[in-house]
Chains A and B, each alone.
Chain A
């Protein structure tokens, strides 16, 4: 890998964008819906409690799993697209 090729830089920028987007969702479901925004979501009932409670105890975990698999899948495509994947 030559150090500063244009493509390599583009690859890294694409990775950073993907991470940034994923971490926004990561923070929104846990710190947002699960904690800080919970009072705002209290009007949405779910099985005897509110949506915020669900996000805090289950929803955020399910979202985390989806985020990681989505990231891994997108990165594998990026790796190939930029020719930096392993043989």
Chain B
């Protein structure tokens, strides 16, 4: 059977499962559509959160980023997991007790203000829309590589599949497809990693293999990797970063951003009890950790494999001849994700650091002495995971599995985000403001139409990505960290924060964070409008625009505190509402509204 047929089988098979689940889990009421009827088991929900959370970025890109920069990218590993501690302790149980359908709804009720609700809706839509464009584009790329269609056609197929199960089943359909998608993506991610870890270290568990001995050299694998890459002018894999402050703030921004992202929070509304919300945060992190503990192993091992492919006789000897390159390099060259230019025309592949950093400068004389005239091989970071099975010479069905896994990661996250967007439109805007008298049936129809429109918009933007689509980390995490997370947390932990304080806090956190990002990345990401070049030398105290969300959150807290204390206390019934979300008893009744 050809590789193409195998890929079709795996991807088609997984899609068939998702659609069957959708037909089985049709939503009958708004409660089904928004929160899957509120009866999801905490372990099931944990698995669904895992798929909801782990996007094309986690599945495809993260290992590549870590492979390229080693220790410095640990911020992603800690940041995208540590947020669950905050969710479990600071938000999820209380928001579950509140027992309604959306994140802006809590903000609107707690701060007794339609304006606050509207600010939350806008933050939610901007953050989620930025995020979903990347998922749609990622699905398009995965399709074009594995199913040999162009990426726009791939995008359309992805959109149709999401359409079927999310418009039909809402949160209920999404929950159970996410469980299936989690299984597909974790198996796909783990199998090649296990083989590679076993080949390199003899240890079949990648997370342990990372700290084991490299069989060929008898050295610890990270030592071996450090040695090989420093030999050709790269800085050490485990090298420390220049600014601890920036790494701390970046990690913190990712953590509180994770906790403040609405598509993750609403998943906690689907469990029956407050205690279940706490448990499902724990289970979610277990399921996420299965991938996140494997990712750094995949990263370092793939980088070492790549180095030994190019330098089969060691870095002191000549690199491989271009004509002797392995099959997988040839296949990825076709996609343009691996590029080779024979700069010194010796027919060999010189891959080394010819950049402008210190390590590269120190290596420059040596490169010249060897007759090297620049780095000749460009490897796109995203192929580290996708090409893993081919690099390790694994059978064709593993490649088919990776294709299905990458698509599962993209689709599951896209569906969760689209639900967050459509429920904000149908529940917060239509029922909350425009037509409060709408019947349950009418609202369900409105929710389905909003979902359909959101899918069309996301598909269009996925095919024609606007400038801001590349800024998911800055925009989505910055906004969630600086505006949504502090508002939610203060709403639960303070009885004193009133409507004026909360709105002032959210807006100042938002404006502060976005302005700092725009100064370096261009106003509204329009090219050429940046005031300063985006380099560490220009950053205030060395704080990157990606790390500013944490400071934005502090601004939000501070402004809200000062303004609230200068204006009158919230009314008694609001203080009672805060009181009630703090105690689990009675969560069941609270949901029937």
Q: Is B274's beta carbon under 8 Å from chain A?
A: yes
A56 touches B78 (CB 8 A): yes
B584 touches A47 (CB 8 A): no
Q: Is B89's beta carbon under 8 Å from chain A?
A: yes
Residues of chain B with a CB closer than 8 A to A53's CB? 71, 74, 222, 238
Residues of chain B with a CB closer than 8 A to A85's CB? 275, 584-585
Residues of chain B with a CB closer than 8 A to A39's CB? 240
Q: Is B503's beta carbon under 8 Å from chain A?
A: no
Within 8 A of B (CB), among A44-77: 46-50, 53-54, 56-58, 60-62, 64-65, 67-69, 71-72, 75-76
Give Cα A85 to B274, complex, Å. 9
Residues of chain B with a CB closer than 8 A to A8's CB? 579, 582-583
B238 touches A50 (CB 8 A): yes
Contact bitstring A25-49, B, C-beta under 8 A = 1, else 0 = 0100011001110110000001111
B222 touches A48 (CB 8 A): yes
A46 touches B285 (CB 8 A): no
Give Cα A35 to B226, complex, Å. 19
Residues of chain A with a CB closer than 8 A to B584's CB? 79, 84-86
Give Cα A21 to B292, complex, Å. 25
Contact A64 B221, CB 8 Å, known A19-B89, A48-B211, A72-B275: no
Q: Is B210's beta carbon under 8 Å from chain A?
A: yes
Residues of chain B with a CB closer than 8 A to A68's CB? 84-85, 88-89, 278, 281-282, 285
Give Cα A34 to B222, complex, Å. 17
A57 touches B77 (CB 8 A): yes
B285 touches A47 (CB 8 A): no
**Selected contact of B81 from candidates A11, A48, A64, CB within 8 Å:** A64
A31 touches B211 (CB 8 A): no
Chain A interface mostly: helix
Give Cα A69 to B224, complex, Å. 37
CB distance from B552 to the nearest CB of A (A): 18
Give Cα A53 to B210, complex, Å. 11
Give Cα A53 to B296, complex, Å. 11
B288 (CB) vs chain A CBs: closest residue: A61
Residues of chain B with a CB closer than 8 A to A67's CB? 85
Contact A86 B251, CB 8 Å, known A48-B220, A58-B296, A64-B85: no
A48 (CB) vs chain B CBs: closest residue: B220
A46 (CB) vs chain B CBs: closest residue: B211
Within 8 A of A (CB), among B556-582: 576, 579-580, 582
Give Cα A75 to B530, complex, Å. 49
CB distance from A26 to the nearest CB of B (A): 5
Give Cα A50 to B74, complex, Å. 14
Residues of chain A with a CB closer than 8 A to B90's CB? 19
Chain B interface mostly: helix
Residues of chain A with a CB closer than 8 A to B74's CB? 34-35, 53, 56-57
**Selected contact of B78 from candidates A34, A83, A84, A86, CB within 8 Å:** A34
Residues of chain B with a CB closer than 8 A to A76's CB? 275, 278
Contact A30 B281, CB 8 Å, known A12-B582, A48-B220, A65-B286: no
A30 touches B251 (CB 8 A): yes
A45 (CB) vs chain B CBs: closest residue: B220
Residues of chain A with a CB closer than 8 A to B244's CB? 35-36
A61 touches B583 (CB 8 A): no
Contact A47 B278, CB 8 Å, known A36-B248, A61-B293, A85-B585: no
Give Cα A36 to B576, complex, Å. 42
Q: Is B449's beta carbon under 8 Å from chain A?
A: no
CB distance from B571 to the nearest CB of A (A): 14
Within 8 A of A (CB), among B270-314: 273-275, 278-279, 281-282, 285-286, 289, 292-293, 296
A86 touches B278 (CB 8 A): no
B273 touches A64 (CB 8 A): no
Q: Is B49's beta carbon under 8 Å from chain A?
A: no
Residues of chain B with a CB closer than 8 A to A83's CB? 585
B66 (CB) vs chain A CBs: closest residue: A57
B220 touches A31 (CB 8 A): no
Give Cα A67 to B81, complex, Å. 12
B89 touches A71 (CB 8 A): yes
A16 (CB) vs chain B CBs: closest residue: B493
Residues of chain B with a CB closer than 8 A to A23's CB? 85, 89
Q: Is B207's beta carbon under 8 Å from chain A?
A: yes
CB distance from A22 to the nearest CB of B (A): 6
Residues of chain B with a CB closer than 8 A to A84's CB? 583-585
Q: Is B587's beta carbon under 8 Å from chain A?
A: yes
B222 touches A1 (CB 8 A): no
Residues of chain A with a CB closer than 8 A to B84's CB? 64, 68
A71 touches B278 (CB 8 A): yes
B585 (CB) vs chain A CBs: closest residue: A84
Q: Is B223's beta carbon under 8 Å from chain A?
A: yes
B207 touches A49 (CB 8 A): no
CB distance from B355 to the nearest CB of A (A): 23
Give Cα A1 to B581, complex, Å. 11
CB distance from B130 to the nearest CB of A (A): 26
Q: Is B326's beta carbon under 8 Å from chain A?
A: no
**Selected contact of A49 from candidates B222, B278, B286, CB within 8 Å:** B222
Residues of chain A with a CB closer than 8 A to B275's CB? 72, 75-76, 79, 85-86
Can you sample 28 A-B contacts with CB below 8 Å? A3-B579, A8-B583, A12-B582, A15-B582, A30-B78, A31-B248, A34-B78, A35-B247, A35-B248, A35-B251, A36-B248, A39-B240, A46-B211, A53-B71, A57-B77, A58-B77, A60-B78, A60-B82, A61-B285, A64-B85, A67-B85, A68-B85, A72-B275, A84-B585, A85-B275, A86-B273, A86-B587, A87-B585
Please name 18 further chain A to chain B contacts, defined as beta carbons within 8 Å, in addition to the given A30-B251, A34-B251, A85-B275, sorted by A numbering: A1-B583, A3-B579, A35-B247, A35-B248, A47-B212, A48-B224, A48-B226, A49-B220, A49-B238, A60-B81, A64-B82, A68-B282, A68-B285, A71-B88, A71-B89, A84-B583, A86-B587, A87-B585
Closest 5 CB pairs of A and B: A48-B220, A47-B211, A56-B74, A48-B222, A72-B278
B residues whose Cβ falls under 8 Å from a Cβ of A = 71, 74, 77-78, 81-82, 84-85, 88-90, 93, 207, 210-212, 219-224, 226, 238, 240, 244, 247-248, 251-252, 273-275, 278-279, 281-282, 285-286, 289, 292-293, 296, 576, 579-580, 582-588
